[in-house]
Amino acid sequence: MTRPMTVTEKILARASGQDEVRPGDFINARLDLALANDITAPLAIREFEAAGLTDVWDPERVVMVCDHFVPNKDIKSAEQSKLVRDFARRQGLANFFDVGRMGIEHVILPEKGLVVPGDVVIGADSHTCTYGALGAFATGVGSTDLAAGMATGEVWLRVPETIRFNYEGEPDHYVTGKDFILYTIGMIGVDGALYSAMEFGGEAIRNLSMDGRFTMCNMAIEAGAKNGIVEPDAVTGEYCRGRARREPVMARSDEEAEYARVVDIDVAAIEPQVARPHLPSNTVAAAELAGLKIDQVVIGSCTNGRIEDLRMAAAVLKGRRAHPDVRTIVIPGSQQVYRQAMKEGLIDIFIEAEAAVSTPTCGPCLGGHMGILAAGERAVSTTNRNFVGRMGHVDSEVYLAGPYVAAATAVAGTVAVPEEVLA
């Protein structure tokens, strides 16, 4: 009889061909998907070719997305994208996404059904953990590890221990998945879940949309986690219906599963959050920063660039204009999100609010383009990191928040909560 296991352990046991695994075990796991982007793919491609390898293990399951610097902002980024483009063509990759048919990688892969519950996914991008929202084991790796994965279809790793986070109660209307995860990271710190699986559960998670779950799992890495994960349920099944390209495996944790620890959180006590410079764990209630002047607001990214996020921002911006001192930038996470936002009239709301609306791109999140900060400037952003120099000059500041707070700040010109501008 096998030992009781967590959902992460069950997925890894199945992928490694074993009846059970334990935290600390080293395993070779079969991959369902390997992912790279226009920054990390060139490194992996060079390693792949330097090793004398000629063919990827499965051109249907190696995915490459040009999203960080596209459309290309300069000669260097153009060369990066060309290298990826040429490799994808040589290998006949079925899932290569470029300008016009692309989007931010962690938005479009679930959207297109390329990741399903029960999968094992590696990506040469730390926010690959996003796909845990579907009940998959997904983790970021280095470009060398990705090159090995592209060649063999396997990954070697240590089974992480699991920390269970139970979110109970009913949140305030303006408290979202972004606020849940910022509050949690503020509670445990940026290394509070080091090489652990963050398993998110409880009543509030069961009532959370898929978009909210993606946001939470996306930022598990900001607590040092190996992966974030939500047990698949009816919400997951509904999301996968009509889009999943493989049969999902809806694994769930056993009731007797062992956890490194269990953390209980009452979401009714959570206010809209902001993470101050220069760590995602430096969180406070947004109301505590009222009056802090802001120069730029960014709404988008792999964290909060989905249709639900744009709806939240539009609910605040409708009939209002961004403060004349605040450059407001809205970036849909994919072409599908962009089109849906157009159909719902959200793009008109943003343009009438005097915001700039961009083609899907990571852009300003990593200080790439489309919103670089100068020395002394402050931004409120729905992105996932606010490290020194993350969005531009080392003397600039980034404050992380959800779409409601970001949009309210754009209108007020200072850090604000929605109630202040909707009154």
The closest alpha carbon to 48, from 19, 16, 88, belongs to 88
Beta-carbon contacts of residue 419 (< 8 Å; ≥ 6 apart): 174
Does the pLDDT value for residue 20 go beyond 70? yes
pLDDT of residue 2: 83
Give one word for 416, left, alpha or beta, with left for phi > 0 and alpha for psi -120 to 50.
Answer: beta
Percentage of the chain with pLDDT > 70? Answer: 100
pLDDT band at 423 (very low <50, low <70, confident <90, very high): confident
Task: Give mean pLDDT, residues 159-167.
Answer: 98
Alpha carbons 139 and 123: distance in angstroms, whole number = 7
Phi, psi (degrees; rounded to nearest 5) at 89? -70, -45
pLDDT tens digits for range 67-96: 999 899 999 999 999 999 999 999 999 999
pLDDT of residue 1: 66
pLDDT tens digits for range 182-241: 999 999 999 999 999 999 999 999 999 999 999 999 999 999 999 999 999 999 999 999
pLDDT of residue 146: 96
pLDDT tens digits for range 321-365: 999 999 999 999 999 999 999 999 999 999 999 999 999 999 999
Residue with tokens 């509030």: 204
The domain spans of the chain are 9-265, 273-422
Residue with tokens 């996932």: 384
CATH tag, 9-265: 3.30.499.10
For the whole model, what pTM was predicted? Answer: 0.95
Fold of 273-422: Aconitase; domain 3 (3.30.499)
pLDDT of residue 102: 85
pLDDT tens digits for range 309-323: 999 999 999 999 999
pLDDT of residue 65: 97
Instruction: For residue 318, give the amino acid letter.
Output: K
pLDDT of residue 422: 87
DSSP H helical ranges for 244-332: 301-304, 307-317
Alpha carbons 240 and 247: distance in angstroms, whole number = 10
Are 57 and 23 within 8 A, CB to CB? no
- By the 10 Å C-beta count (0-12 exposed, 13-18 middle, 19+ buried), 260 is classed as middle
- Please list, residue by residue across 262-274, b when 16 or more beta carbons sit within 10 angstroms of its beta carbon and e when fewer do: ebebebeebbbbb
Alpha carbons 133 and 217: distance in angstroms, whole number = 6
Beta-strand runs (E) in 173-267: 196-201, 227-230, 261-266
| Cα separation values, 151 from 16, 61, 83, 407, Å | 17, 11, 18, 44
Alpha carbons 118 and 120: distance in angstroms, whole number = 7
DSSP secondary structure string for all residues of 156-188: EEEPPEEEEEEEES---TT--HHHHHHHHHHHH
pLDDT band at 415 (very low <50, low <70, confident <90, very high): very high
pLDDT tens digits for range 264-306: 999 999 999 999 999 999 999 999 999 999 999 999 999 999 9
pLDDT band at 307 (very low <50, low <70, confident <90, very high): very high
